[in-house]
Structure 1
Amino acid sequence: MVSKPEAQLTWPVQSLLISILFISNLFPFYMTLVTFAVIFIFLFMLGLLGPRYIKREVPTSIWIFIAYSAVISFIFQNWAGLGISIAFIPIAIYFNYYEQVIRPYYVEELLNIALIGSFIIFIFATFEYLNWVPEWDYSFISPEINRIHNGRAEATFANPNYYAMMLEFFFFIGLYKMMRTTKYRKKCVFLFISLCNLFAITYTGTRTSLLVVIGTLFVFYFVLGYKKIAVGTFITATIGTLIAIKLGFLPRFEDLGFAFEDRFVIWEIGLKGLRDNFWFGQGPLTYLNVWHDYGDKYTQHAHNIVLDTLLSYGAIGTGILLPSLISLGKKIHQMRQYPILRRRLALICSFCSIVILHGMFDLTIFWLQTAFLFLFVVLSIHNMYHEVDTNPELQGEDKDYSRD
């Protein structure tokens, strides 16, 4: 008789390992890498990542996509892309394990950890932005990175744009927790942390972020069923942002025209590369591999999630990914039938909205820390749905979360 993972490793131990990895994701990325490697090897040696203990294997389309990405990277001598393609393997295996063992109630604990961590990071980012202790190496990586992004806070995330996306995630986690609890004091705490994270976006100087927050606020409230609030919030936030820009309260908006010109140059180079290799791509970071053939604008990626995906994997590789994306969409649609899942559905939809909206101007999801936080939250969707679908007492129009 084959034993379950819990028979080899109890849930308290598994949840502790998940928490350790989750917390490490709030530290510099090299600490996340080391923690992930240690936990992955530990679970693998116990056999908890193998087919004997995992009911649902990694979808075939994901394996085909990884193989495809590695092969085309090798063919076009895109060695950075080949390395990333190989790194996809343990990530796919681990998060397939995570998706099946995570318990919905524990996701709430992870979200609490995220908010506590985000506030600590906010304090550090304030020190960094104001340079209160010049002797500190705020970049955590090298002085060069800090000079490149002079005047912009990156906290523990290597790049101000990555920190900005993390702040967007943190803000909506706080908003979700505030909507979930019935306790006034907790509402105030969650609101305070959310506002701190929203304010910290100004530290990053990432002009896209406030636009992403405005658009995602509409999505969040609309999914909750508060359509009038969704429209009102969207209009109010838009007007408020425009006034703040006009008064000069938001950094780096004075050169917004230059920023768009810069993006247009990058997109033009990306489109030229796409026209020459529409079907196949050259693997991850194709832009980095081909930019010198089409122009003089150096950067790592095409700064658009659609363009960069097509440029890197071609129409064929992108098509291979579609079944997994469609499967996620179907699961999101299934969650709509249960009122008890509405708030969690709003959080998950807001995360997807952040990736899509921010992805129109940057590819910040293609980074270890932003991707991990996204996967930790979104991949809990299966067990959230399964818990309600198999428990009739949780179903019905009058049901809601067991709130804290």
Structure 2
Amino acid sequence: MKSIGIIEKLKSLSKQEGLLLGVILSIFLPFYLFVIIFISYLLWLVYTGEMKGILKRLSQHPVLLFFIAYSTAISLLAQNVMGVVSSVAMFLFAIFFYYYQSQLTPKFFRLTIEGILALSVFAAAFAALEHFQIVKKFDYTFLSPRMQVWHQNRAEVAFFNPNYYGIICCFCIMIGFYLISTTKLRWLRIFSMIAIFANLFGLNFTQNRTAFPAIIFGAIIYLFTTIKNWRAFWLSVGVFGVGLAFLFSSDLGVRMGTLDSSMEERVSIWNAGMALFKQNPFWGEGPLTYMHSFPRIGAPYHEHAHSIYIDTILSYGVVGTVLLGIASSTPVRMLIDMSQVPSKRPILGLYLSFLTVVAVHGIFDLALFWIQSSFIFLLVMCSLPLKHSMIDEFVD
């Protein structure tokens, strides 16, 4: 009967909601297929005449638009082609997620994250097949030979890189915690628990060392935010213990044996990033500045500076970083307001755990700056205005 209930939920969706949900769930396809679907959807919004209203309402967010324009301008001045492409992608994401916010309801958000969690289980199963080399990895060389990077037996599913898939596993685990905390349905609690463990194994198959401290701290933040009593402490200790067991278990194949050499490589990339930053500290050269400018100082090739903090100031300079800070002030105020309402602790915990995962994972990598990982992050974080305005948390 519960499965029939899900089917009824899908049938109750309007045409606009059904199409929107289809685009959202296509994020689990290889990125080039998702891009085709995403662009087609935006063109459909143009065809239906809705794009004009979206752009008009989007103009009410001048700081965000100014930052995107700034990012585009400095990329053009630096002749940073990929920076221009990334800036245009930011604008398209801004259009999509502003429309997403206008269509968002508590029930639709709930169905969206349940769908994301369900598909993450299939992704974890595919990750196991990849890890044990039962199926081959997706081959992207038809796009460009440089785009294909073979990562031995590290699972990446349809997300191009094991680190990108790793942070997506972290997000899905946090969604699982949230659904367990806010549902009265026994089957959904059981399914969410299964999905959490599936994503833990998927995370392990990525052999992404950075993701494990991220998920440990994210889980601790979620538990302390939502429970706030002695149980939170012991649950957090348990989560921390399980995380450490995964992190240091040689049987599970996490690449801890090469940690020293990897850290040396990371430090060299950070030093190169800071050297590039010092050449243009105020303005930056646009997104993916490291990939654009690394030959200038004889640094090794990498797409980015492998740190969200270094890469941000490197790409946007002091001016752009300040603009980002200003654009973030309103969401921060909303989070502070929500922290005063006990009934909103579960969704607040979800937001804070997402931010914690990004903050911790971002110390050593820039996995958020990818089409699919940033899309899932924004799907959750863009529900903030809706959840902020609600009196009570929606549960099912």
TM-score > 0.5 by shorter chain: yes
Partner residue in 2 for 1:46: 48
Q: What do residues 126-150 of structure 1 show as CA deviations (whole Å, max 9, x unaligned)?
A: 11111124xxx42252497676211
The secondary structure found in structure 2 opposite 1:365 is: coil
- What 5-or-longer segments of structure 2 have no aligned partner? 1-11
Question: 1:151 Cα shift?
Answer: 0.9
Q: Corresponding residue for 1:197?
A: 199
**Which has the higher mean CA deviation after the structures are superposed, 317-326 or 230-239?**
230-239
Return the letter of the residue paired with 1:252: R
Specify the code of the residue in structure 2 equivalent to 1:403: V
2:367 equivalent in structure 1 = 364
| 1:198-231 Cα shifts (integer Å, max 9, x gaps) | 1111110100111101101111012214254444
Aligned to 1:139: 138
Q: Residue 248 of structure 1: which of 220, 241, 250 is its match? A: 250
Question: Which of 326, 329, 345 is the matching residue for 2:348?
Answer: 345
- CA displacement 1:49-70 (0-9 Å, x = unmatched): 3247965645101111111111
User: Gaps (5+ residues) in structure 1?
Assistant: 1-9, 389-393, 395-400
Q: Does 152-161 or 77-86 show the bigger shift?
A: 77-86
Letter in 2 for 1:312: S
Superposed displacement of residue 96, structure 1: 1.4
How many residue pairs get matched? Answer: 381
Alpha-carbon distance change, 165 to 245 in structure 1, aligned in 2, over 3 angstroms? closer
Distance 1:55 1:84, change over 3 A: closer
One-letter amino acid of the structure 1 residue matched with residue 99 of structure 2: Y
Distance 1:229 1:49, change over 3 A: farther
In 1, Cα distance between equivalents of 2:99 and 2:154: 37
Mapping for residues 291-370 of structure 1, pairs under 5 Å: 291-370=294-373
For 2:104, give the aligned amino acid.
I
Whether 2:119 is the aligned partner of 1:120: answer no
| Aligned-partner Cα distance in 1 for 2:320–2:261 | 33
Report how far residue 280 of structure 1 moved: 0.6
Question: Which residue does 1:264 correspond to in 2?
Answer: 267
Residue number in structure 2 paired with 1:216: 218
Partner of 2:291 in structure 1?
A: 288
Q: State the AA in 1 paired with 2:360.
A: L
| Counterpart for residue 68 of structure 1 | 70
Closer/same/farther in 2, CA of residues 56 and 124 from structure 1, 3 Å limit? same
Cα shift at 1:186: 2.6
Q: CA RMSD in A?
A: 2.2
Matched to 2:362, the amino acid is G
TM-score, normalisation: structure 1: 0.88
Report the CA distance shift for 1:270/1:231 in structure 2 as closer, same or farther (over 3 A): farther
The structure-2 alpha-carbon separation of the partners of 1:244 and 1:284, relative to structure 1 and needing over 3 Å to count, comes to closer
Partner of 1:374: 377
Once the two structures are superposed, the pairs formed by residues 41-190 of structure 1 within 5 Å of their partners are: 41-51=43-53, 55=57, 57=59, 59-133=61-135, 137-142=136-141, 148-190=150-192
> C-alpha separation between the residues in 2 aligned to 1:260 and 1:52?
45
8 Å Cα contact 1:336/1:345 also seen in 2: yes
Question: What is aligned with 1:275?
Answer: 278
Q: TM-score, normalised by structure 2?
A: 0.90
Q: Aligned AA for 2:211? A: S
Q: Paired residue for 1:397?
A: none
Does the CA-based 8 Å contact 1:100-1:383 persist in structure 2? no
Change (3 A) 1:370 1:58: farther
Aligned-residue offset at 1:233? 3.8
The secondary structure found in structure 1 opposite 2:309 is helix
Conserved 8 A contact 1:138-1:146:
no
In terms of mean alpha carbon deviation, does 105-114 or 140-149 score higher? 140-149
Partners of 1:169 and 1:351 within 8 A in 2: yes
Contact 1:54 1:100 in 2 (8 A): no
> 2:5 is matched with which residue?
none
- Percent identity between the aligned chains? 29
Q: Return closer, same or farther for 1:231/1:265 CA change in 2, 3 Å cut-off.
A: farther
Q: Secondary structure at 2:271's aligned position in 1?
A: helix
Q: SS of the counterpart of 1:284?
A: coil
CA distance in 2, matches of 1:24, 1:160: 19
What one-letter code is carried by the residue in structure 2 that aligns with 1:109? Answer: L
